[in-house]
Amino acid sequence: MSSALIQTKSYPTWNSRWVFIMAATGSAVGLGNIWKFPYITGENGGGAFVLVYLVCILLLGIPVMVAEVMLGRRGRQSPVATMRQLTNEAGLHGFWNSIGWLGVVAGLFILSYYSVIAGWALAYIPEMGRGTFQGAGAAETQLFFDTLLADKGRLLAWQSLFMLMTVAVVACGVVKGLGVAVRILMPLLFVLLLAMLVFAYRHGDFAAAAEFLFRPDFSALTGRSVLEALGHSFFTLSLGMGAIMAYGAYMPADTSIGKTVLTVAFLDTLVALMAGMAIFPIVFANPSIHPGAGPELLFVSLPVAFGAMPGGLLVGMMFFILITIAAWSSAISLIEPGVAWLIERRGFNRFTANISLGFIAWALGLGTVLSFNDWSGFTLGGFTFFGAMDFLTSRIMLPLTGLFIAIFVGWVLPQMTAKSELNGEGSRFYPLWLWVLRYICPPAIGVVLLVGLYDTFAAVS
Ligand code: PHE
């Protein structure tokens, strides 16, 4: 639809709040919701972890997301240029520009390993369809997974395919590429997830899953689980790397930021919980599968279940298509801030900007590919290349940028700036938001960051 674009001065905006909501939800909903959330919930004992996670979304995720969208819409440029403009306007120190930079770098780092894991999901689609897992036991699916990870050529092929898919959409631009893609992908994802839920309800142990996810057992909760929940609330909402800020730049001026952010956070949380309720009933119905299996939960455990159930292979195929779609719309947002910046400031066209950054992330991803085979013995402080990338981004870089954003918007930026963007939100919204952003977010995020840094030093030394 050509009317999806309204040209305001030099910057395009999406013509409706729904395109923004779908784009932001597309970014937020990804491997974080469908792969990571279920397995870290399993590792951290279930209900109590889910509760802490929900509190983190509400108290940290939502306020920081409002701040990011507000900055993006205010600047109407790439995150790097937006930060530069806002600091210049207010006569602030250039240090704050690092918010934009850190984001571009974090995005490329995340994309580098994200595309490898999304490649696993891609690899499983034809295998499901071909019946590889028909009647397979846990030992066989484990063998399949290990064989896949040991084969760098295959990993590379699937990672490259996923990267091409990402670059192709971004190359088509914000309106035709991103706008159209999310409008097709997001509803499809919801339909597939609903189908999965129905399947899990009919063939799995739904009651056991509900009890596991929603009955908090606080004895299972450790300090580390709380930190993990906190870190994950940033990752899952795509905060702290400029993705949401970049999308905020395309948001129509008269749209309510508060309501929109609440909708996105709600949808993201809904998908994570739906994914949990689609996966755990199957896990609990199969005694050989353990909820705390870790990152393999999805790739080793579930195929056993799919292979054993009537119609399971078809549903399994659907499931891995669903994961691919979710990862795809997130990957798009990981690369967009850097692309927008290269176009604005370095005179690249969208195509070359996109190819260049895609290439960098792809090349970096080779480290992750190799960390599962040739380099698996090569670790730094217990981290493989992949582990280090994951830790560096989700436990250090995202919280660091999130912290900077909370301090910058809460304490440094002239209050009029935020106030004028948020004045349509009702009289109680602004003071409440500002208070949380000033007094709750910095100390809470600061603790996650400090423990993350401490862990890094402890591991390296
Ligand atoms: N939010 C995405 C997920 O849950 C990951 C992501 C992080 C995407 C940061 C963009 C920016 O999978």
Q: For residues 246 and 341, give the distance between their C-alpha atoms in angstroms, rounded to a whole number.
A: 10
Cβ of 24 below 6 Å from ligand 1: no
pLDDT attached to residue 264: 94
Q: Ranked by mean pLDDT, which of 83-92, 187-196, 209-218, 419-428 comes out on top?
A: 209-218
pLDDT value at position 406?
93
Average pLDDT of 387-401? 87
Predicted local distance difference test score (pLDDT) of residue 177: 65
User: How many whole angstroms separate alpha carbon 392 and alpha carbon 397?
Assistant: 6
CATH 3.30.70 fits 14-460, yes or no: no
Average pLDDT estimate for 180-194: 79
Q: Is the pLDDT of residue 390 over 50?
A: yes
Compute the average pLDDT of residues 374-394: 83
Mutate to test the pocket of ligand 1, among 114, 235, 247, 274 (most ligand atoms within 8 A of CB): 235
Counting Cα atoms < 13 Å in the Cβ hemisphere of 458 gives 6
Residue that wins the pLDDT comparison between 292 and 154: 154
Residue with CA at minimum distance from ligand 1 atom 10 = 238
Q: Containing H/E element for 11?
A: strand 11-14
Helix 62-75 to helix 257-285 angle (10° resolution) is 130
* Number of CB atoms found within 10 A of residue 377's CB: 7
Q: Say what the pLDDT of residue 6 is.
A: 41
Give the Cα-Cα-Cα angle 314, 156, 121 (nearest 5 degrees).
25
Ligand 1 pocket check for 110: Cβ under 6 Å: yes
User: How far is Cα 82 from Cα 247, in angstroms, rounded to an integer?
Assistant: 12
Among 102, 333, 390, 405, which is best to mutate for testing ligand 1, by the most ligand atoms less than 8 A from CB? 333
Task: Give the pLDDT score at 186.
Answer: 77
Q: Is 241 in the pocket of ligand 1 (CB under 6 A)?
A: yes
Per residue in 9-36, pLDDT (tens digit) is 456 666 677 778 888 888 999 999 999 9
Q: How would residue 376 be classed by pLDDT, with cut points 50, 70 and 90?
A: confident
Question: Which residues, in sequence order, are CB contacts of 82 under 8 Å at separation 6+?
Answer: 71, 72, 74, 75, 76, 100, 245, 249
Distances in whole angstroms, Cα of residue 286 to Cα of each of 38, 143, 289, 302: 16, 18, 6, 10
What pLDDT digit, counting tens, does each position of 260-284 carry? 999 999 999 999 999 999 889 888 8
Look at 236 and 392; give whichever has higher pLDDT.
Answer: 236
Question: Residue 13: left if φ>0, alpha if ψ -120 to 50, beta else—which one?
Answer: beta
4 pLDDT exceeds 50? Answer: no
**Of ligand 1's atoms, which has the minimum distance to the CA of residue 37?**
4
**Tally of CB atoms within 10 A around 87:** 20
What mean pLDDT is reported for the chain?
Answer: 86
Distance CA 388, CA 66 (A): 30
Residues contacting 326, CB < 8 A, separation 6+? 29, 30, 31, 33, 34, 189, 271
Across-strand partners of 11? 8
Closest CA to 346 of 114, 151, 81: 81
**Is the pLDDT score of 133 beyond 80?**
yes
Looking at residue 174, its pLDDT comes to 61
Would you say residue 417 has pLDDT above 90?
A: no
Return the ligand 1 atom nearest residue 235 CA.
7
Distance CA 34, CA 124 (A): 15
User: In this model, does residue 459 exceed pLDDT 90?
Assistant: no
The pTM for the full model equals 0.89
Given a contact cutoff of 8 angstroms between Cβ atoms, the answer to whether 264 and 25 are in contact is: yes
* Residue 384: count of CB within 10 angstroms of its CB: 19
Bridge partners (DSSP) listed for residue 201: none
The gap between the terminal CA atoms of the chain, to the nearest Å, is: 56
Q: Does residue 233 line the site of ligand 1, with CB under 6 A?
A: no
Higher pLDDT, 123 or 246: 123
How remote is the CA of residue 307 from the centroid of ligand 1, in Å?
30
Torsion of CA 258, 269, 189, 113, to 10 degrees: 100
Mutational test site, ligand 1, from 41, 325, 330, 390, max ligand atoms within 8 Å of CB: 330
Q: Which residues of 398-412 are buried (b: 16+ CB within 10 A; e: fewer)?
A: bbbbbbbbbbbbbee
pLDDT at 48: 93
pLDDT tens string 89-98: 878 787 888 8
Interval 396-405 mean pLDDT: 90
So what's the pLDDT on residue 452? 76
pLDDT of 378 reads 80
Q: Using CA positions, which residue lies closest to atom 7 of ligand 1?
A: 238
pLDDT of residue 262: 94
Q: Is 394 in the pocket of ligand 1 (CB under 6 A)?
A: no
Give me the percent of the chain exceeding a pLDDT of 70: 95
The CB density around residue 51, as the number of other CB atoms within 10 Å, is 17
Q: Are strands 5-8 and 11-14 parallel, antiparallel or unpaired?
A: antiparallel
Q: Tell me, what's the pLDDT at 175? A: 63
Query: Predicted confidence band at 210 (pLDDT cuts at 50, 70, 90)?
Result: very high
User: Residue 27 Cα, ligand 1 centroid: separation in angstroms?
Assistant: 6
pLDDT at 56 over 50: yes
- Distance between Cα 149 and ligand 1 center (Å): 23
Give the start-to-end residue ranges of the domains of the chain.
Answer: 14-460
Q: Which residues of 62-74 are buried (b: 16+ CB within 10 A; e: fewer)?
A: bbbbbbbbbbbbb
Kindly provide the b/e burial profile for residues 251-263, where b requires at least 16 CB atoms within 10 angstroms of the residue's own CB: bbeebebbebbeb
